[in-house]
Chains A and B, each alone.
Chain A
Amino acid sequence: MSSNFPTSACKSAHFRTRPTASGVAAALLMLAAAPAANAASLADFDALVAQTEGQTVFFHAWSGDPTINAYIDWAGDEIEARFGIELEHVRVTDTSDVVGIVLAETAAGRDSGGSVDLVWINGENFIALKEAGLLFAPDDDGWADRLPNWNFVDDEGNPSLTVDFTVPVEGLQAPWGTVQFSFYYDANLIAETPDNPLALLDWARSNPGRFTYPQPPNFLGSTFLKLLLAYTVDDRSRLAEPLEAADADDALEPLFAYLDELHPHLWRSGRTFPANQAALRQLFADGEIEIGFANNPAEASGAVARDEFPASTRSFVFDDGMIANSHFLAIPANANAPEAAMVVANFLMSPVAQLRKQDPAVWGDFTVLDIEALDDATQAAFGALDLGVATLGPSELGPAISEPHTSWLEAIEAQWAARYQGG
């Protein structure tokens, strides 16, 4: 994998599309000569920055939220001004499309000069790319934990930054933001919010048809099931370990007993489910359901600001913790400009970029930095952010529950489909 790194160092956009004999020859020469130089450039970040001036980074990022797109625009302007790197935001609807591009390029033998330089990614897609060996790893090693701004990252306080879905990150992706599952509701309609799954079941019984969840294996729907799993499993610490197929039925029995109880009281009596996060939000906006949820605790405030949700929307969590996870920036193994992509990732992890990102007027996505490691002025600025009426502050979010080992989710999704999807 590391052999990709030196060749790409000498590459220009021109070389990518029109290989010439001399270009190939030059590349081969560099292949022999370059490794030492490149290892040095990650150690000497300033040299890396100087070397990448004038390059373009194609950043493939989900773009269904105009406020996030505007933030990426801002980052692009800053990066252009500071480093002379052009950041091109490639608008995608589904990260799996980006994985598809990398796969097709790899299948076609393009091991470098690929069209994706940086991709916004989360756990399951990260694991898939990591297992398929499709992630950039200079000197066969991670890069994110060798970036200067890694010093500020809260890697000890927030385990989800170093272990993504129980798979060690190993510096193969740079943390960008961190989220914790939370529910939203209309405070004008609900006086007392349920603080555990049993209370939620009671609430659903007395308010039939006013709650639902996206159909697994949708990411948000699966996260909801993982939350229920954490509350129904006999011993939460088991979740970090793989689930043996033989134990699956027993271990998941309480979860499905709960779902069997819950489903008749769901929206449309559980006969159909919303497709995804967007559909769930729409149901809440239309007043069809009264409790919804999101991975990003700031989502409800954003929707209020866009007139989607009523101004009386508020958030709540279960008492014994909610699933927390982080989202990241990864570089494909065959990226055309991996060095420039690292410079971009380093900027996106910087205190100034992270502070702006956490401002709910901009995006409202929680920082990956350890606030206490920052200088006083920045600490004060983080403290002064008004998170918005519908967003719980970090202290109100309660304990974080780590993602269970992926084998649990696979078993849940298979059983869910067998029980409820056959119709």
Chain B
Amino acid sequence: MPAALPRLVRLAPSAAIGLLVFPVLVGLAGAALPAFGFFPALGGHTLSLEPLRDVFAQPGIWKSIGLSALVGLFSPLIALVLTFVLLAATWGTPALAAVRRLIAPLLSVPHAAAAVGLAFLIAPSGFLFRLISPELSGLTRPPDLLIIQDPLGLAMTAGLVAKEMPFILLMSLAALPALDGRRRQMVMTSIGYGRGMGFALAVAPQLYQLIRLPVFAVIAYASSVADVAIILGPTTPAPLSVRILDWASDPDLTSRFMAAAGALVQLALTVSALLIWFAAEKILGRLWELFATSGIRSGRGGKGWQALALAVPLVPMLAIAAGLALLLVWSFAGPWRFPDTLPSSWSLRAWMQMGSDGFELAQTSMLIALVPTLVAAILIIGCLEVEFATGRTGGSRSLLILYLPLLIPQVTFLFGLQFLAIVLRADGMIVSVMMAHLVFVLPYMFLSLADPYRRFDRRVIQVASGLGLGFWRRLFQVRLPMMIAPILTALAIGIAVSIGQYLPTLLVGAGRVPTLTTEAVALAAGGDRRALAVAATLQSVLPFVAFWMALALPAFVARKRKGMQIA
């Protein structure tokens, strides 16, 4: 058994909880108190159920709730299935390397920009229609077709699937080396299973166990997403998250009570979606087991099936990649009107308008992203080491509270955070902005790192211990190098999450800590695709570098360590 932990490491869970419980609880209180009518600055001095009643009295509210729940469950499900089909089809083939190359750019781009790109691809006035107009379609004006913003939220679901797939794929690729899948696959082939079935029976269930927590984060995200919903989702009525945002920004300040109550409804909705998912997991797991033990050797599908298994999952990812490429074209576009396939002239105007402070803003953004990400990484590794040594997940279980920032809509949660910063006279300071980012960065990183860490082969550490290595050398010479893929992935996710934070940066920073994102998002509010494209590109650069490194570096390290190779 590993020797006692250094004192410093044992402090990690308390440090994590200490740093985060306070802001999270105040954030939660900031959402909960106004939800029950308490908000003295607006004249609410007593507790009441009035705001909740108001929410449920809104026209179409149940449709909004149902819509959010359906999108929140189906988009992760479809994304998960498609990702596994893609992995089954490309597992151990050169095609997987090609797919890997798609991930970094797709993950780096902010969701809203990806949604705008996708909308431009498929809208009746969009690129696909321009491509076939007027020659093939005979159209000189865009047709009046309800393709995006459809009442069932299909376009919104498609957009979310496309953006969630790269994330699930990334988590899977980071987790796969721990499964020693190649040997499993060989065994399955030797007992007569085809590639797809071999993957489905011998790899997929274990892989799912490893990426379960990130999938939960995806469900929480999809059931509460606002920006993608505004662009692709229906409006009559809109999904719940969008309506909460409307109430929170209503000039009538008393609507803020309703927004806070709506946030609690949203929390209940997201938790319900997760519970439904748990139940489905149980049923499906049982069915899978029955099937696996039946010994049926089907799924030796012909070439046609294999091509389909490769093509179908690629469609959403390629669609979103195309949308992003088109957005980049827009950033250099002069006039570009229907049905022209390409802009009629080119211009640098949108790029010039971004101003000359770009470099300084990029520096601030990078600093604000790196500090919380590194702090979070250290805290998480410390917590997981404590858990590993003691065998108790108690420390990290109390970290459950840290997932609240993922479950409650930002607009209402942030009010508490902002309030806290103001009371501490810490608003407008860069350190406060970093702290606020930590609140959102840490849960995502924890979700992505926890399972790979927990499933790390204990025997490796025992051997290292037996060879006389102390804690720090075991950590830095054995554990961290072997876990480089999930750790770099977690770091990249942390950086991307931080760069994406607009409201926390504005509100906790009191507008005095400008970053690339605050500038870019503010400029994109005007609605010109060119400005949005420039903004999205600038916002994507840092996360892109991070994701690219997370995917490229492990392979580089693995060159010297044969057993770690990925595919």
Contacts and interface: CB of A to CB of B under 8 A. Distances in A.
A183 interface: no
Contact of B527 (A103, A278, A307): A278
Contacts of A355: none
Interface core residue of B338, B427, B521 (most chain A CB under 10 Å): B427
B234 A17 contact: no
Given A271-B236, A277-B527, A423-B237, A104 B144 contact: no
B44 to A, nearest CB: 10
B318 interface: no
A42 B495 CA distance: 49
Interface in B263-308: none
A241 interface: no
Given A287-B337, A422-B236, 20 more contacts: A64-B525, A69-B355, A90-B514, A91-B523, A92-B511, A96-B248, A99-B251, A103-B42, A104-B419, A107-B419, A115-B510, A124-B251, A124-B252, A209-B144, A268-B144, A278-B526, A281-B527, A288-B124, A418-B59, A422-B63
Interface in B508-527: 510-512, 514, 518-519, 521-527
B59 A272 contact: no
Contact of A64 (B251, B337, B526): B526
Interface of A: 17-19, 58, 60, 62-66, 69-70, 88, 90-94, 96-97, 99-101, 103-110, 115-116, 124-125, 127-128, 131-132, 208-210, 215, 217, 267-269, 271-273, 275-279, 281-283, 285-288, 306-308, 310, 410, 417-418, 420-423
B324 to A, nearest CB: 18
A368 to B, nearest CB: 21
Contact of A97 (B353, B503, B528): B503
Contact of B142 (A19, A94, A271, A286): A286
A106 B182 CA distance: 61
Nearest to A414: B59
Given A91-B519, A272-B149, A115 B512 contact: yes
Contacts of B419: 104, 107-108
Interface string B151-183: 100000000000000000000000000000000
Given A17-B428, A60-B511, A96 B142 contact: no
Contacts of B250: 96, 217
Contacts of B335: 307, 310
A316 B510 CA distance: 41
Nearest to B333: A307
Contacts of B525: 62-64, 93-94, 278
A91 B518 contact: yes
Contact of A58 (B125, B355, B511, B527): B511
Interface in B395-452: 415, 418-419, 422-423, 425, 427-429
B134 interface: no
Contacts of A278: 525-528
Contacts of B126: 286
A93 B522 contact: yes
Interface in B467-514: 502-503, 506-507, 510-512, 514
Given A286-B125, A417-B58, A94 B249 contact: yes
B101 interface: no
Interface core residue of B58, B124, B237, B510 (most chain A CB under 10 Å): B510
B506 A96 contact: no
Contacts of B428: 17, 115
Contact of A100 (B40, B355, B415): B415
A129 B353 CA distance: 33
Contacts of A286: 123, 125-126, 142, 337-338
B3 interface: no
Contacts of A64: 522-527, 531
Nearest to B30: A104
Given A90-B512, A128-B252, A287 B338 contact: yes
B507 A97 contact: yes
B59 A422 contact: yes
A69 B528 CA distance: 15
B197 to A, nearest CB: 43
Contacts of B524: 64
A116 B428 CA distance: 11
B336 to A, nearest CB: 8
A30 to B, nearest CB: 20
Interface string B232-275: 00111100000000101111110010000000000000000000
Interface core residue of A100, A106, A127 (most chain B CB under 10 Å): A100
11 contacts: A66-B523, A69-B523, A70-B353, A92-B522, A128-B252, A275-B235, A281-B527, A286-B123, A286-B142, A307-B336, A421-B236
A268 B237 contact: no
Contacts of A18: 425
Contacts of B347: 307
A267 B123 CA distance: 13
Contact of A104 (B253, B338, B422): B422
A215 B511 CA distance: 29
B188 interface: no
A272 B511 contact: no
B529 interface: yes
Nearest to B334: A307
A60 B507 CA distance: 12
B561 interface: no
Interface string B526-551: 11111100000000000000000000
A58 B511 CA distance: 8
Contact of B422 (A60, A110, A208): A110
Nearest to A208: B144
A103 B41 contact: yes
Contacts of A103: 41-42, 253, 256
A210 B144 CA distance: 8
B521 A93 contact: yes
A279 B234 contact: no
Given A91-B523, A286-B125, A423-B63, A272 B146 contact: yes
- Interchain residue pairs A-B with the least CB separation, the first 6: A278-B527, A64-B526, A209-B144, A124-B251, A90-B511, A64-B525
B58 A132 contact: no
Contacts of B252: 124, 128, 410
A107 B39 contact: yes
B141 interface: yes
B422 A215 contact: no
Contacts of B503: 97
B192 interface: no
Nearest to A415: B59
Given A132-B253, A286-B142, A215 B522 contact: no
A101 B418 contact: yes
B512 A65 contact: no
Nearest to A125: B251
A307 B335 CA distance: 5
Nearest to B349: A306
Contacts of A17: 425, 428-429
A127 B254 CA distance: 12
B205 interface: no
A123 to B, nearest CB: 8
Nearest to B242: A275
B509 to A, nearest CB: 9
A106 B149 contact: no
B70 interface: no
